[in-house]
Chain A
Amino acid sequence: MAVNINTVYTTVLYILNKEQRGYVTPTEFNSLAAQVQEEIFNSYFPDGNQLNRFNQNNQQNDTEFFNMFKNQAYKLYPFEQDAAFILDVPSQTFYYNGTRTVYKLGEIISTYSGNPTYNSITQLTSKSDFSTITRSNLTSPTSQYPIAFTTHAVIVTNPVTPARLVINISPLPTSVSINCLFRPVNPIWGFTIGGLGQYTYNPTTSTNFELDISEQTNIITNILKYCGIIIRDPEIVQSAQAEIQQVETNEKS
């Protein structure tokens, strides 16, 4: 479940205004919200890597709700989606034609129609590995063991699009489905201006945080950290940073 942006904004304002410390306008807030969401999203990967070491050493707490690695991986679910990639016939590559921005490619399933139809897990390699693997007659890709590499190219199918991520798969499948991680959509606190010039929350023009609901506190403290900088209040920055530090220490130790 996503984090409601109005809840975050009102909480931030409440904390800031508690002692008449200052005010953050919706425009400033929206910029901070986007920045914080991006920061938290990007922190999942190094954190996940760190927490996976417990798995590798067989030290992970695997009781139902306390597997920290799984909890961390779970937070990515709002950004994870199976996406169909489209074949660009002239270049024989596949590309994503949706509205979102692909952040990372996960499992690639290549489908080869025929008798039988194969839905094969595709190994994503570097270009140099691709060249090496295809040259060995024992490992050369087949419809059961296809391999792929990514590159940046212009799609020449009409309409011609700017250069983008494309994926080369060998042998060429009939269709491709990739478990993608998409970049978060920027949150927006939408508003209308009331008769007294006040900002009134407008849910129809707003976009909530895509982060999981468990990140609400984290979002608020991070935004407060930046608000403290904006309103030049070191006390807010320090207390927000202390709070963030404590959460991090708890999670990773």
Chain B
Amino acid sequence: MPIPNGGLITETNEQYYAGAQGFRALTAAAGQSFATTFNTDLIFGSFNPALLNYALNNFKLYTSADGVTYAEYTAAYTVVNNTVTITGAIALGTYIVVQLKALDGGSYGARNATGETVEENYGGYSYITIGDIIDNFMVGYVGDGKLIQTCKKSDVVFHVKRGMQEFSYDTLKSIKSQELNIPPSLAVILPQDYVNYVRISSIDQLGVKRIIYPANNLTISPYEMPLQDNAGQPTQDNFGDNLEGTSITEERWANANDRFITGTFNNANFEAFFDFMQDGYGYGLDAYGRRYGLDPALSQINGWFNMNEREGKVAFSSNLANRLIVLEYISDGLAYDLDSRVPKMAEDAMYSHLLYSILSTRAGTPEGIVQRFKRDRSAKLRNAKIRLSNIKLDEIVQVMRGKSKWIK
């Protein structure tokens, strides 16, 4: 079982869990090659730790004479097509280990192969790459005697990437997140592969996340702030472009006291008001501590954010300055070509999407066929959504146990 035998698993247990693959030198000749078979491609910058590119390596090479004590091999070697070729001669029977970088530094030598390469591969079996989807589709759905007799590969590539984008928005588990600190400027830059946000939360001292709400109707980051003359006309520079100023709206929002919006109880104000009342103005004392006319949507202390499209940033309300936040967002799954992976739960939905997309854009396809695959796509997409929603009976039961709790 630990040895890959033609199934979809191609790594040994050692390769997967420890991120290591061992070899032995069968001769003492120079130029011996050792082909690694990790799911992860080796990234090779340099064999020499003194050189800058050495830090690019996503692995370390260790050798040992006895298979017990290992030391890092820093003499010349090359890596082509995931095959390590040691330039010089090594002793017959030498143990050689390629250790991918891991959070714990691996198990060889000084245990300093520190990185995240091994961890990035964990759980990879639940995904299929876009490349595999394309190849499988061409084999299974395109050819003589099939509905799609011929199809350009570039068409399939186009539709699979479009499908990947659409699936990413509402079907796939492609929510990404960044942990950020809100600077005094109260704005953080949108991630490089940002498409839309899912949720922004501040993290309290217990590590509990508190949802920050969008300031939809409260404030705005204007897109343009033309400088106006006394007549209200925008003024232009020497090149004929409008002169731009800074946003006063943003400035006011940054300095705003959110208590005026949330109606949060303020002890100092309360004491002052109490003293005022004690001075002989007896009426109104029964209004202490009461809140009239509050908007429940605004009565929260977690803070607000709004999108500053002009600067490509997320802006926050002033009470969140220096707070830790987590920005959860969705990307389209195509930011990095090699990273494009589809959960296996949605694999069939992707094939159906391809079938429908290709047949519906092909001249002469009977409408009945198109409609059949439209329904097929819709049904499989729904299945994929349900599967990826991770609805587990035990978890539902746990939530439902709350039904017996007495609520006053």
Distance of A152 Cα from B93 Cα, bound (Å): 55
How many residues of chain B have a CB within 8 Å of chain A? 22
- Provide the B303-341 mask, 1 if CB < 8 A to any CB of A, else 0: 000000000000000000000000000000010010000
Q: Could you tell me the distance in whole angstroms from the C-beta of B237 to the nearest C-beta in chain A?
A: 34
Q: Which stretch (B115-123, B153-161, B280-288, B371-379) binds chain A?
A: B153-161
Whether B162 pairs with A138 at a CB distance below 8 angstroms is yes
Report A209-235 residues with CB < 8 Å from chain B CB. Answer: none
Q: Which residue of B lies closest to A119 (CB)?
A: B81
Interface contact A55-B145, CB-CB below 8 Å: yes
Residue A177 interfacial (CB < 8 Å):
no
In the bound complex, CA of A203 to CA of B153 (Å): 48
Contact of B80 with A by CB under 8 A: yes
Question: In the assembly, what is the distance between CA of A117 and CA of B351, in Å?
Answer: 27
Report whether B144 and A52 are in contact in the complex, using a CB–CB cutoff of 8 Å: yes
Instruction: Looking at the assembled complex, report how far the CB atom of A7 sits from the nearest CB atom of chain B, in whole angstroms.
Output: 36
Instruction: Give Cα A142–Cα B334 distance, bound, in whole angstroms.
Output: 14
Contact B158 A115 (CB under 8 A): no
CA gap between A114 and B79 in the complex, in Å: 8
Tell me if B41 is interfacial: C-beta within 8 Å of chain A.
yes
- For residue B334, which residues in chain A have a CB less than 8 angstroms away from its CB? 138
Pick from A57, A58, A129, A145: contact of B157, CB below 8 A. Answer: A145
**A244 close to B (CB within 8 Å):** no
Which residue from chain B places its CB closest to the CB of A147 in the assembled complex? B154
* Given A115-B41, A116-B82, A56:B144 Cβ within 8 A: yes
With A144-B131, A145-B157 in contact, do A115 and B149 touch (Cβ < 8 Å)?
no
Shortest Cβ gap from A189 to chain B (Å): 40
**Interface residue count for A (Cβ, 8 Å)?**
23
Q: Once the chains are docked, how many angstroms separate the CA of A133 from the CA of B80?
A: 30
A139:B158 contact, CB within 8 angstroms: yes
A115 to B131, CA, bound (A): 17
Interface check A123, CB cutoff 8 A: yes
- Contact A114–B153 (Cβ < 8 Å): no
Task: Decide: B42 and A115 in contact? CB cutoff 8 A.
Answer: yes
Residues of B close to A117: CB separation below 8 A = 80-81
Given contacts A133-B154, A139-B158, A142-B337, contact A116 B149 (CB under 8 A): no
Q: Does residue B23 face the partner (Cβ distance < 8 Å to A)?
A: no
A55 to B150, CA, bound (A): 13
In the bound assembly, the distance between CA atoms of A200 and B168 in angstroms comes to 77
Contact A114 B145 (CB under 8 A): no
Asked if residues B153 and A121 are in contact (CB atoms below 8 Å), the reply is yes
Is the C-beta of B77 less than 8 angstroms from some C-beta in chain A? no
Query: A136 interface residue, CB < 8 Å from B?
Result: yes
Q: Which residues of A contact B154 (CB under 8 A)?
A: 123, 125, 129, 133, 139, 145, 147
Q: Are B145 and A115 in contact (CB under 8 A)?
A: no
The answer, yes or no, to whether A113 is at the interface (CB within 8 Å) is yes
Which residues does chain A contribute within 8 Å of B337, judged by CB atoms? 142, 144
A:115-145 near B, CB below 8 Å: 115-117, 121, 123, 125, 129, 133, 136, 138-139, 142, 144-145
A142: B residues at CB distance < 8 A: 337
Contacts of A144 in B (CB 8 A): 131, 337
B43 at the interface (CB under 8 A from A): yes
Q: Separation in Å of the B203 CB from the closest CB of chain A?
A: 36
B162 and A115 form a contact (CB under 8 A): no
Residues of chain B within 8 A of A114, CB atoms compared: 80-81
Contact between B161 and A138 (Cβ–Cβ < 8 Å)? Answer: yes
Least distance between A105 CB and chain B CB atoms (Å): 16
Given the known inter-chain contacts A58-B145, A116-B41, please indicate yes or no for A138 contacting B81, CB distance below 8 A.
Answer: no
Name which residue of chain B comes closest to A53, CB basis: B144
B residues in contact with A129, CB < 8 Å: 152, 154
In Å, the complex CA distance between A136 and B152 comes to: 15
B181 to chain A, nearest CB (A): 34
CB distance from B53 to the nearest CB of A (A): 13
Complex Cα gap A114–B81 (Å): 5
> B152 — which chain A residues lie within 8 A by C-beta?
123, 125, 129
Task: Looking at the assembled complex, report how far the CB atom of A124 sits from the nearest CB atom of chain B, in whole angstroms.
Answer: 10
Cβ proximity bits B127-169 to A, threshold 8 Å, 1 near / 0 not: 0000100100000000011000100111001100110000000
Cβ contact within 8 Å between B153 and A116? no
Mask for B15-50, Cβ within 8 A of A = 1, else 0?
000000000000000000000000001111000000
Which residue of the partner chain, among A113, A123, A136, A147, contacts B81 with CB atoms under 8 Å?
A: A113
- Contact A55–B144 (Cβ < 8 Å): yes
User: Which residues on A sit within 8 Å (CB–CB) of B44?
Assistant: 115
Distance in angstroms from B299 CB to nearest chain A CB is: 46
Tell me which residues from 187 to 217 in chain A have a Cβ below 8 Å from any Cβ of chain B: none
**Residue of B43, B158, B162 with most partner-chain A CB within 10 A:** B158
With the chains together, A117 CA to B149 CA distance in Å? 31
Partner of A115, one of B81, B134, B144, B161: B81
A133 to B161, CA, bound (A): 14
Least Cβ–Cβ distance between A111 and chain B, in angstroms: 10
Other CB < 8 Å A-B pairs besides A114-B81, A129-B154, A145-B157, 7 of them?
A58-B145, A113-B80, A113-B81, A123-B154, A138-B161, A139-B161, A147-B154
Mind listing 5 A-B residue pairs with CB under 8 Å?
Answer: A55-B144, A56-B149, A117-B80, A123-B154, A144-B337
Q: Shortest 9 CB-CB distances between A and B: which pairs? A: A117-B81, A55-B144, A138-B161, A139-B154, A58-B145, A116-B41, A139-B158, A123-B153, A133-B154
Which B positions have Cβ atoms within 8 angstroms of A? 41-44, 79-82, 131, 134, 144-145, 149, 152-154, 157-158, 161-162, 334, 337
